[in-house]
């Protein structure tokens, strides 16, 4: 099946008992066993380990990413934590993209370093820098592309080749582009991580995460952590995400079209000093973005004259753009990463990777692009 068909029908079958077209929400803690000898005959025993509704979602996202199987988690951060736990032990080393979600940075530097895990935040846009960062104890490479919030791209095929040559698993956070626009496993990655909270849900209704594995062996390691830590996605969240993903391609296309119009408007505005959107020819990695993905996504950022103070005035003056930390929803959101999503990243590290105090991040929604542009225009007048 092609992508649009799979996002609707993949992994889903009519309920065998009633014929319901939507999978039921199996809101049950435990599952009755026929006998001791037939324990797990129906595949389920306890919802921390596996749940029928959650399994439908796991099959769906595995199909969409082209992976062997998937494990679903309560949040995107619990999905990243599961990958860390599955592949890193005390004394191991992990390479992470130097620009990544602030929660990833916090988990690595504030939690895992306490247990003797070492991290290098490398410029993964340069495969040579990744190769140079590898040590004898490197056990995982985690890249985020496009990166949050600067949208820096990693050449996934090139980094996967570096990782494969050393026998190191390469995990990719594919939250920003989703499998509709970017297919990391086809480019050589071993694992794909999602915050399903974002585009896969698309409606600001849930928090969740998923890890798709390329092989049975990798999936077994991640699923073991899912069960051992009790971090599985809830059945109702899985059910809601299954409904949200049915319109993923339509939402992504419309949101990306809106984002390009808004980026072009901002690029032409006299008060805007910098605009970064992968669909603009001025984007430093525009050619890689075209080659690696089938779409540019709906995330962009900009800076204005007057720096931080002017940027804050803009964010406090918009009416249609909601000031909030999420992204990927049907509603357009504006975020100040330094204050919000990346507040826990050390100031010197933010400066090093280009997360400036005046950076304004936009997650473009499904509203009429002209309304969104008019709202930005009146806010820019107040800057």
Catalytically active residues are 48, 101, 173, 198
The answer to whether the beta carbons of residues 280 and 264 sit under 8 Å apart is yes
CA angle in degrees (0–180, nearest 5) for 341-346-350: 70
Is the Cβ–Cβ distance between 117 and 139 less than 8 Å? no
Helices and strands in the chain, H and E counts? 14, 12
- What is the pairing mode between strands 209-213 and 69-73? antiparallel
Task: Give the C-alpha separation, 370 to 302, whole Å.
Answer: 18
Query: Please, is 36 exposed, middle or buried when counting C-beta atoms within 10 Å of its C-beta (0-12, 13-18, 19+)?
Result: exposed
Report CA torsion sign: 166, 114, 338, 180: positive
The 10 Å Cβ neighbour count of residue 331 is 17
Give CA–CA dist 171/160, Å, rounded: 9
């Amino acid at each position: 099946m092609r992508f649009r068909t799979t996002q609707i029908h993949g992994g889903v079958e009519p309920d065998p008992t009633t014929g319901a077209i939507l999978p039921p929400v199996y809101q049950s803690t435990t599952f009755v066993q026929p006998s001791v000898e037939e324990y797990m005959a129906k595949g389920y025993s306890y919802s921390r380990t596996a749940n029928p509704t959650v399994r439908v979602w796991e099959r769906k996202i595995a199909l969409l990413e082209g992976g062997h199987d998937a494990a679903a988690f309560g949040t995107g951060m619990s999905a990243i934590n599961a990958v860390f736990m599955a592949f890193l032990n005390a004394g191991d080393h992990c390479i992470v993209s130097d620009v990544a979600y602030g929660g990833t940075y916090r988990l690595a530097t504030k939690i895992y370093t306490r247990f003797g895990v070492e991290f290098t935040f490398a410029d993964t846009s340069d495969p040579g820098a990744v190769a140079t960062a590898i040590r004898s104890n490197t056990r995982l490479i985690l890249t985020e592309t496009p990166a949050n919030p600067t949208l820096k791209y990693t050449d996934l095929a090139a980094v996967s080749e570096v990782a494969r040559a050393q026998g190191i698993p390469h995990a990719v956070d594919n939250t920003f582009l989703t499998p509709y626009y970017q297919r990391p496993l086809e480019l050589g990655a071993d694992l794909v991580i999602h915050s399903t909270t974002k585009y896969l849900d698309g409606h600001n209704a849930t928090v969740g995460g998923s890890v798709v594995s390329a092989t049975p062996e990798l999936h077994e390691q991640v699923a073991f952590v899912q069960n051992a830590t009790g971090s599985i996605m809830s059945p109702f969240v899985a059910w809601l995400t299954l409904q949200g993903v049915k319109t993923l391609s339509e939402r992504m296309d419309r949101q990306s079209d809106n984002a390009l119009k808004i980026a072009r408007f901002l690029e032409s505005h006299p008060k805007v000093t910098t605009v970064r959107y992968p669909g603009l020819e001025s984007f430093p990695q525009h050619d890689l973005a075209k080659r690696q993905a089938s779409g540019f996504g709906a995330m962009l950022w900009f800076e204005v004259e007057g720096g931080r103070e002017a940027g804050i005035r803009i964010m406090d003056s918009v009416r249609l753009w909601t000031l909030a930390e999420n992204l990927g929803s049907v509603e357009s959101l504006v975020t100040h990463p330094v204050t919000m999503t990346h507040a826990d990243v050390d100031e010197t590290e933010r400066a090093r990777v280009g997360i400036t105090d005046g950076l304004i991040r936009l997650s473009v929604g499904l509203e009429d692009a002209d309304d969104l542009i008019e709202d930005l225009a009146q806010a820019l007048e107040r800057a």
